[in-house]
Amino acid sequence: MERYSARTIDELSRLILPQELMKKIGLKPGNNVYLKIIENLVIVQHEENSTEPDAVVCQISERGRITMPAKVKTVLGWKEKDKVAFYHSGNMIILKAA
């Protein structure tokens, strides 16, 4: 698992995905992604690669942002100004509190 930089959740609950990670798994602005919570991690996968029934769907904005759903923030206790670290493994981006 490869670690990338950490980013901060902004005041509108948005998080910018690193462009190099988006390219690695074939994501582009406008794509939908699935967010799946596993223990203290969030797994981000391209919509085409996920079959998880309880995953949350988000759309990537033109600037590479995703808005963190309330369910994710509540379960993990994340809030604005928290730092989130990015990891890459296979066809997924993994988010973890930094």
pLDDT in tens, 46-84: 876 556 667 888 999 999 999 999 989 999 999 999 999
Task: Give the model's confidence band at 86: pLDDT under 50 very low, under 70 low, under 90 confident, else very high.
Answer: very high
Domain count within the chain: 1
The two tokens of residue 17 are 């995905």
Domain coverage including residue 71: 2-97
CATH number of residue 56's parent domain: 3.40.1550.20
- The β-bridge partners of 17 are none
Burial 65-96, CB ≥16 within 10 A → b, else e: bbbbbeebeeebebeeebebebbbeeebbbbe
pTM: 0.88
